[in-house]
Structure 1
Amino acid sequence: MSTTTTTPISAEPAHRDRTSASPAPRGAMHTLGILLRQRLRRDRWQLVIWLLSIALLALFSAESIQTTYGNAAGRVELLKLAIANPAILMLRGLPQGTGLGAVTFFEIFTFLALLAGLMSTFLAVRHSRAEEESGRAELVASTPAARILPTVATLIHGVLANAALAVLVGLGFIAAGLPAYGSFVAGAAVGGAGIAFLAVGLLLAQLMMTPRGANGFASAVVVLAYVLRGIGDATGTITGDGTHMRSAWPSWLSPIGWGEQSGAYTTNDWTPLLLDLGLAVVLMAVVFWLQSVRDSGAGFVPERAGRADARSTLSGPLGLAWRLQWPTILGWTVGGLFTGLLAGALGSVVSSSVANDPALANIRKALGTIGSGGSGPLTQIFISAIFSIVGVLAAACATQVIIRLRQEEAGGSAEIMMSTPLSRVRWLLEFLLDGVIAVVLVLLAAGLASGLSAVSAGEGASIINDSFAAAAAQLPVAFVYLGMLALVFVVLPTWTIPVAWAALGLGAFIGIFGGLVGMPQWVKDLSPFSHAPVVVGTVDWTGGFWMFGIAIVATAAAAVLVKRRDFAIG
């Protein structure tokens, strides 16, 4: 079998002079081209969704900023508010003037770079450590591709993806009416950060034993880079007319911070972006060295030894589902906690800063268009708006539960479990119960953190109830994703992962930013996030009850249909 497979690739006359340089490069380039095409084909949907989502976010963010802060006076007040409150700088970026392009770069660049980092690290791990765990990397290594060419192909694939992202982000900004040269500098800053994090992902794939560990560690590095950049911006110094800042040294420890230093639309300095490429080159040299000295499937960070005997909680699918997913659930819960902290603290800050300032009336208007809207005290409006983002975290946690279901089935583990007295319905429903618990944990952490941080900032104790109400309003949204994606998993198993991420990304964008960019109401109604209960002012749970009903019906349908289909392995 193996002889038949490898002969066409490596067949060369045995007597060919081994010193001849031309045949080897041609063979290597041919093999590299095959590997690169395989990666492009495998990622064709995931990559397109990532690229278009980030580019559209750039486009619509620029348009919304132009609509909300179209006059120079409004932008001056916005930057002064940000500079006076370090917490806002932690979230946003480095003020570089009141020009429309500069304010857009300040508002959205760090989030775009964060998304580019996650896209790149996931791509790196998917084509390296995940391939080793599945056994496919060892099969590929037995061909003339050996062990190095697949990594080279992954590197080229990731660089091309980030180059495409840089162009698309630049075009998105240009389409919004921003200057072309500054737009491409901004796009290059996003793509440069992505390339740096691509190398980080490939390095961690060499060090960690599992793709789950590599993805978790890589995501933590991306978030750490975002936080370091935030600390550097928040502790920076004000320069010029009070609307410019120079970041402190922690920003220079982060690829995201390097992108900020390009000063898109102002200085347009390409030099800091060389740091992204330099880091990538150094890390890739380490990656190739590590790959040359370690065994396939091995890692440099050993996994913790397991117990000799399993706990009683692993006797059923619920305990197993929790054991498989608790690190991921913990990550989303921590994300909800930090978002809640920022919501509570910033809500009080924004309220005290703008409540009586007519020049900043646009901020109240902008907050009212995020998520479900509503009218009432500004702190409540702000917390409700930020909890739309917490809802995205909870829905993402639910989405990953369904994705794990699909991975268990595709890897053959589910079929082995079904050889026991365990029924398919119980297996499915207990995984979904794990998802319900995960969603509740994310929202509880966010609600508690928001309430306590708001009280510590000077708000009344009643704000704790408001925070928990805002968290509860996101429950039906997350449950809709859990139930509907469970139905997709049962009916279209091989499409589960791309449909899940596409539904989450589009739903979040339409629901949160649809009002900002002026989408028609019928488009906004397609997103579950648009129907989250309004808990500011007059409470309306009509949309929430409808979503609970849809989630229950979809879950019941999935439970009935799962008994009637075969396992979709691979």
Structure 2
Amino acid sequence: MGVLLILWRQRLRRDRWQLLGWVLGIGAFALLAASAVTSTYGSTASRTEILQVAVATPAILMLRGLPRGADQGAFTFFLVYAFLALLAGLMSTFLAVRHSRADEETGGAELVAATPAGRLLPNTATVLHGTVANILAALAVFAGFAAQGLDPQGALLAGAATGAVGFCFLGVGLLVAQFMGTSRGANGVSSALVVLAYVLRGIGDATGTPHADGTTMTEGAASWFSPIGWGQQTFAFSGGRVWPLLLPVGLGAACLTAAWLILGVRDTGGSVWGARRSRTSARAGLNSPIALALRLQAGSIIGWAFSGLALGLLAGSLGKAIAAVDTPGSGVTVALRAMLRSQGMSLTQLMVSVLFLMAGVLAAACALQAVMRLRQEEAAGTAELLLAAPVGRVRWLAGYLVLGAAAVVLVVGLAGVGTWATLTGSGDESISADALWQIAVAQLPAALLYLAVSALVFVLWPAATIPAGWVLLGLGVFLGVYGGMLGIDQSLRDLSPFTHTPVPQGDATDWSGAWWMLTIAVLAAALSIVVMRRREVGTA
């Protein structure tokens, strides 16, 4: 027990700032959401009106949740629970990989295994560490909701649902780390599974069955394939059910058990999916920095690109559902349709715009990873070996920038192809091909801006490249996607690139935001190249 506590304290010390940021961020989001509902949607009538619009608009349900009544607590849970669970899942998977596969990569796990701790006790310490982290996240959600006067029992159940999903993905992350040979691969796969759970929950909510009151729905089948959907089934603030928590906790425990069994029989540093045998000499195609960068990042770029394609296919596949909703049978639908028509849009176009905003976030994340790879190569010392050859620093950086820009176009382009292909055969003619591709192109400036700004951070403050990149993206999503819902001042929301992403509305589309973002991106990229000419490689 003494060794276990020592290992746990080591993890607490190592993660103290990251863990504090995650827990406080999750709690602050819950607090702000509850406060915004109180100030903006203080009456039952206003909440009922919003819910009726949401029920008539599957795109809103994709990003929000499952309506379960106009009560203040139930309305707050509908708005933010899915995103809270998403954050808890990402926190847990990153934590799991950081203290398992990443430690094996650096050799730290082998050193610890040579002590009385052995090979299995560090894994137990990681489970304890992750469990405590999710308990703290659950308490933060409870405190955020309760501080705004929401029912304490419902707030406690909402916190427990958030923590249970986090615990589930703690097990998923540790299990994935047994299969993948690198921390980068383990992080990519496990975080993709978290996003998949969010998307499956969204599909289930968007394809659910509305009730006669227009403020409640029964979930679709897809929600039952998602741990986030299981947590949503607790119906916090609207009846309250504890038994759905057994599902994510049970899946997490099963994954942890499987991870322990695999860890007990495999070699330290090995993986279930071992690396393939390397070539004795490089291909002729690897004779340039950009070709090498592509070889190093091909796996992650393909993963992001397929995610964009899947999102596009999802957007198109919901076309029939939108067409079914867009009927004169509902007064709310008629009013919403008339308002959108006055703006040159349709319900389908609104849904595609919302989902393509998610594609823009995926493209921005792909761009960030291109620059982060620069920092990883530099920190590992391999960049210095490469630059010892006839390769200049500017050419090295420019190659990654070109590759990052191409990856952004690929992710967004495949999302557009997927949407176009599925909508073409759906019979829904409410969105033209021209409008669809305008929506896709509108996502490029924000993603390219993240690419250029992260490159500038890399050349000015190398050690901050990775944390600053993810923090900037997280703040951009928080302010741009959820800022309006939380009642955040417009001046703060304008700091997010996603706030300025154009929403195509025919000839009335305002593209000024896109041009400004492209201009800033070009200037930031040019400045990073100029600074790179004088910057030393390998600086902290």
Under a length normalisation based on structure 2, what TM-score does the superposition of the two structures give?
0.87
Unaligned runs of 5+ in 1: 1-24, 369-373
Instruction: Report what 1:377 is aligned to.
Output: 345
1:67-466 to 2 correspondences below 5 Å: 72=44, 93-226=65-198, 229=201, 251-307=223-279, 309-344=281-316, 353=325, 359=332, 375-379=343-347, 380-460=349-429, 463-466=432-435
> Residues 367 and 143 (structure 1 numbering): CA distance in 2 closer, same or farther, change over 3 Å?
farther
> Residues 350 and 459 (structure 1 numbering): CA distance in 2 closer, same or farther, change over 3 Å?
closer
1:465-544 to 2 correspondences below 5 Å: 465-537=434-506, 538-544=508-514
The alpha-carbon deviation at position 73 of structure 1 amounts to 5.8
In structure 2, how many angstroms separate the alpha carbons of the residues matched to 1:153 and 1:106? 35
The alpha-carbon deviation at position 547 of structure 1 amounts to 1.9
> Residues 323 and 192 (structure 1 numbering): CA distance in 2 closer, same or farther, change over 3 Å?
same
Which of 511, 519, 531 lines up with 1:549 in the alignment? 519
The alpha-carbon deviation at position 400 of structure 1 amounts to 1.4
Task: Give the letter for the 2:520 counterpart.
Answer: I
The alpha-carbon deviation at position 68 of structure 1 amounts to 7.0
Q: Deviations over 1:346-388 (max 9, x none)?
A: 57855874686654699689999xxxxx943234444334433
In structure 2, how many angstroms separate the alpha carbons of the residues matched to 1:200 and 1:433? 34
463-472 or 345-354, which deviates more? 345-354
Q: Does the aligned pair in 1 maintain the 2:5–2:125 contact within 8 Å?
A: no
In structure 2, how many angstroms separate the alpha carbons of the residues matched to 1:282 and 1:233? 27
The alpha-carbon deviation at position 562 of structure 1 amounts to 1.8
Structure 1 counterpart SS, 2:448: helix
In structure 2, how many angstroms separate the alpha carbons of the residues matched to 1:66 and 1:348? 36
Instruction: Report what 1:14 is aligned to.
Output: none
Q: Deviations over 1:383-416 (max 9, x none)?
A: 3344333222221111111111111111112111
The alpha-carbon deviation at position 439 of structure 1 amounts to 0.5
96-105 or 543-552, which deviates more? 96-105
In structure 2, how many angstroms separate the alpha carbons of the residues matched to 1:160 and 1:511? 31
> Residues 154 and 410 (structure 1 numbering): CA distance in 2 closer, same or farther, change over 3 Å?
same
Structure 2 counterpart SS, 1:449: helix
> Residues 55 and 312 (structure 1 numbering): CA distance in 2 closer, same or farther, change over 3 Å?
farther
Task: Give the letter for the 2:459 counterpart.
Answer: V
In structure 2, how many angstroms separate the alpha carbons of the residues matched to 1:544 and 1:232? 33
In structure 2, how many angstroms separate the alpha carbons of the residues matched to 1:227 and 1:547? 28
Which of 29, 35, 59 lines up with 2:10 in the alignment? 35
Task: Give the letter for the 2:512 counterpart.
Answer: T
Q: Which has the larger Rg?
A: 1
Q: Does the aligned pair in 2 maintain the 1:78–1:360 contact within 8 Å?
A: no
Q: Does the aligned pair in 1 maintain the 2:53–2:336 contact within 8 Å?
A: no
> Residues 228 and 532 (structure 1 numbering): CA distance in 2 closer, same or farther, change over 3 Å?
closer
Query: Identity across aligned pairs (percent)?
Result: 48
Task: Give the letter for the 1:552 counterpart.
Answer: V
Q: Deviations over 1:231-255 (max 9, x none)?
A: 6667777789786556577655543
Q: Deviations over 1:185-209 (max 9, x none)?
A: 1111011110111011112212322
Unaligned runs of 5+ in 2: none
> Residues 383 and 59 (structure 1 numbering): CA distance in 2 closer, same or farther, change over 3 Å?
farther
Q: Does the aligned pair in 1 maintain the 2:58–2:322 contact within 8 Å?
A: no
The alpha-carbon deviation at position 129 of structure 1 amounts to 0.3
Q: Does the aligned pair in 2 maintain the 1:74–1:359 contact within 8 Å?
A: no
In structure 1, how many angstroms separate the alpha carbons of the residues matched to 2:193 and 2:337? 34
The alpha-carbon deviation at position 172 of structure 1 amounts to 3.0
Q: Does the aligned pair in 2 maintain the 1:128–1:205 contact within 8 Å?
A: yes
> Residues 236 and 392 (structure 1 numbering): CA distance in 2 closer, same or farther, change over 3 Å?
closer
443-452 or 378-387, which deviates more? 378-387
Structure 1 counterpart SS, 2:533: helix
Asked if residue 565 in structure 1 is aligned to residue 535 in structure 2, the reply is yes
Q: Deviations over 1:254-280 (max 9, x none)?
A: 432331232211232223323433333
In structure 1, how many angstroms separate the alpha carbons of the residues matched to 2:42 and 2:333? 13
Q: Does the aligned pair in 2 maintain the 1:339–1:446 contact within 8 Å?
A: yes
Structure 2 counterpart SS, 1:304: coil
The alpha-carbon deviation at position 462 of structure 1 amounts to 6.0
> Residues 522 and 252 (structure 1 numbering): CA distance in 2 closer, same or farther, change over 3 Å?
closer
> Residues 389 and 172 (structure 1 numbering): CA distance in 2 closer, same or farther, change over 3 Å?
farther
Task: Give the letter for the 1:469 counterpart.
Answer: Q
